[in-house]
Structure 1
């Protein structure tokens, strides 16, 4: 049964863009909470006496494992009920769990708190993608999803900029005494400062209107509810299109997320940036290059799709891979800070092309009753492979292949050099099936 508060709203109008901005703010606080770990490598390793590989489990695997596992059941709820209410509950939960990271007293307690952050954030994108697809016509969908995904680059950038400022102050001050909490190390204060503001976004999300569901399919699945069997049947019927797209992008995300997590540390280890300077520099880089890349990818996706190219989004993703590859490989060999920052900037720019349209392609292939669940399947694989394995693969190469913390640049280059071409070949193999799936979905409008 559709929720009672669903409202017919003109598609692609002013209110639709207003709703996207609110959801973008939710994505922003999500990524601030998620990415702040990338700036705290040194302090947390020192406090808990752990290796790069163990730290990567905190930054990536702990978050990704339950983010991925909980994504599909929570998306099933989103496909049947009020998506905005589910998002509001999720923001409250992950904001509290981010704050709990600041109370962690060791590896295990921080690992468990990071799991909690992942469970909360598992709700956001499947529900938000579904809402945005109902707000916008297909000819402007890529740009709308890219604007929503600006929360990734802005949130990641702010995590590093704010974190760089906080870490500089907190680390110089040593221990900090907080009301009701007591004495905490400087790095723990960061989690309180980035976690609590997310609660304010909860109220903004509750104020947007739940759009009426569009693109319902008759026959293959029911309009009043979707059984697990319906969902499985749909996925199997489009298995080649979904498999190649999801696996190819997930492998690419391994490199993208690794660069985002290890970027500040790369500047510190390779070019001796201070922790605060590395955070602020990489944060600005993420916001400028990443935001530009997202908007460019969305504009290209809409332009090519409007020309009648059904696999337009896939072609933009392939362009993203081709553009990023030489620069991520070059990271392993450049020897000056200026060249390092140029390579990082261009790599981040191209890596961001896929941010909004990777999940957007799922929306073009799936009926409304399965949009949340199908995109959650994508996020399940993308986060297990990308977030769960990406940082750990790079850290393992540093620890066990090169045997030196200073070789982080080589590890990033090795991961990107091997994985990106493999991801591109997988997507190329799936293009005919992707074109067919997108064309079939047009009959549901």
Structure 2
């Protein structure tokens, strides 16, 4: 990495948007590999003989554990080394580990493979956030980061639709040395291996020049912790507020396909297409609207624009998500879940942009990793497991899944709204005092 200092703002152009497109492709594949599990709850439970709670650990804790813990040292590498190489290696790792999920013979094997997926994916977003922030000036970052983050919904939707089609079409496979694989196992192999080509594409992307970087500055974790402590009101309330919001989102999306299967008697193939479409439509629409709103508010002088969109998101997502679980028909439930996904998607580009605005360039990788650490352990780690815990231990009935989803939303949404509301003033003070 060059240590030449530069305080000039980045000047976005066609190549910058090409880089965003490549990173969107990578993030799309990461969510395909991450979310393909949600549509195969029934087959995996039947083959491995596990409960909803164990399944939730595969979806949440197994992935989030190493995704979170390794994110911080990877974030330090992002601040010091070539980001495109780090991201490319991460893509290759998670792609191979996704394929290895397909040869799992028991719960422990699948748990370990899912941890490996988390290890690889921990390299993507800290590097992507840092690169995009160097390619775009502050007023364009919410829009660019919203486009990048929208890939989560594109990938989740594709995973759902492709998973449903593959479940219907995929026969058992017989691999030498492995034996007969069930269709769900073969699907993991099919969706995992193409990611290796994406890794090669990312490796060809030009590394951006780091803007606002002090000559020779390589802060260690204690220095980053000191910066966060100085502005702990802004960082703490903002990060934890969005992480708690992630409980609502991750808790619901992990179980919505299963809800339709259990409550309305749909098959996995029946739910895959409509749910995939509403995931893409609601998610991409919401996150890009959020980026547009944040950009407009920021241009009109609202320093807390990136937090306001988080409060708007909760106002849309909470009532629609709860109402969806009480809908009498699958059509109405799909419509309300569309509104829920639309609302949940609104804040995420702004959330990332908010952190980049108050963080020095040489700390962005580590701060992004801390942000993702909290989102993963709290949102991904707790959300799906909380829903499953309510189903298994509070209601004691698989058919009560809708109540579990509604209760999780009803708990997480108000707490998130309170934390984000409290974050507005300290964040504005930090933004007014710190300039990068």
Q: TM-score range by the shorter chain?
A: over 0.9
Counterparts of 1:378 and 1:75, CA distance in 2: 11
Counterparts of 1:181 and 1:32, CA distance in 2: 24
Deviation at 1:12, TM superposition (A): 1.8
Deviation at 1:2, TM superposition (A): 3.0
Asked if the contact 1:332/1:411 (under 8 Å) is kept, the reply is: no
Counterparts of 1:191 and 1:223, CA distance in 2: 44
Alignment partner of 2:322 out of 323, 329, 347: 329
3-state DSSP class of the match of 2:150? helix
Counterparts of 2:15 and 2:225, CA distance in 1: 35
Asked if the contact 1:331/1:412 (under 8 Å) is kept, the reply is: no
Q: Aligned pair 1:188/2:181, yes or no?
A: no
Asked if the contact 2:10/2:134 (under 8 Å) is kept, the reply is: no
Alignment partner of 1:298 out of 276, 288, 291: 291
TM-score w.r.t. structure 1 length? Answer: 0.95
Counterparts of 1:101 and 1:245, CA distance in 2: 35
Count matched residues: 434
Counterparts of 1:396 and 1:185, CA distance in 2: 28
Asked if the contact 2:211/2:361 (under 8 Å) is kept, the reply is: yes
Residues 62-92 of structure 1: CA deviation (Å, up to 9, x unaligned): 0001100000000000100100010011100
Q: How does 1:208-227 map to 2 (within 5 A)?
A: 208-216=205-213, 223-227=216-220
Paired position in structure 1 for 2:202: 205
Paired position in structure 2 for 1:109: 109
Q: Aligned pair 1:416/2:413, yes or no?
A: no
CA-atom RMSD, angstroms?
1.6
Q: Against the structure 1 CA distance between its residues 299 and 372, is the aligned structure 2 distance closer, same or farther, given a 3 Å change threshold?
A: same
Single out whichever of 356-365 and 131-140 deviates more from structure 2. 356-365
Alignment partner of 1:270 out of 253, 263, 272: 263
Counterparts of 2:208 and 2:248, CA distance in 1: 35
Asked if the contact 2:10/2:211 (under 8 Å) is kept, the reply is: no
Asked if the contact 1:3/1:81 (under 8 Å) is kept, the reply is: no
Alignment partner of 1:307 out of 284, 293, 300: 300
Deviation at 1:180, TM superposition (A): 6.6
Counterparts of 2:210 and 2:424, CA distance in 1: 28
Counterparts of 2:433 and 2:223, CA distance in 1: 17
Paired position in structure 1 for 2:42: 42
3-state DSSP class of the match of 1:40? helix
Paired position in structure 2 for 1:90: 90
Deviation at 1:204, TM superposition (A): 1.3
Counterparts of 1:2 and 1:225, CA distance in 2: 12
Structure 1 runs (4+) deviating above 6 angstroms are: none
Paired position in structure 1 for 2:381: 388
Asked if the contact 2:325/2:333 (under 8 Å) is kept, the reply is: no
Deviation at 1:10, TM superposition (A): 5.9
Alignment partner of 1:401 out of 381, 391, 394: 394
Paired position in structure 2 for 1:80: 80
3-state DSSP class of the match of 2:149? helix
Deviation at 1:223, TM superposition (A): 4.1
Counterparts of 1:99 and 1:3, CA distance in 2: 39
Counterparts of 2:217 and 2:139, CA distance in 1: 28
Deviation at 1:209, TM superposition (A): 0.8
Deviation at 1:181, TM superposition (A): 4.6
Asked if the contact 1:2/1:81 (under 8 Å) is kept, the reply is: no
Asked if the contact 1:28/1:151 (under 8 Å) is kept, the reply is: yes
Asked if the contact 1:9/1:212 (under 8 Å) is kept, the reply is: no
Alignment partner of 1:358 out of 348, 351, 363: 351
Counterparts of 1:99 and 1:414, CA distance in 2: 34
Counterparts of 2:368 and 2:429, CA distance in 1: 18
Alignment partner of 1:378 out of 346, 371, 377: 371
Contiguous gaps of at least 5 residues in structure 1: none
Q: Against the structure 1 CA distance between its residues 25 and 9, is the aligned structure 2 distance closer, same or farther, given a 3 Å change threshold?
A: farther
Alignment partner of 1:289 out of 282, 285, 293: 282
Counterparts of 1:10 and 1:68, CA distance in 2: 30
Paired position in structure 1 for 2:235: 242
Residues 164-223 of structure 1: CA deviation (Å, up to 9, x unaligned): 1001123xx4x322467542011101101110111111121111111111123x5xxx74
Residues 329-375 of structure 1: CA deviation (Å, up to 9, x unaligned): 11231111111111100000010012222222111110000011101
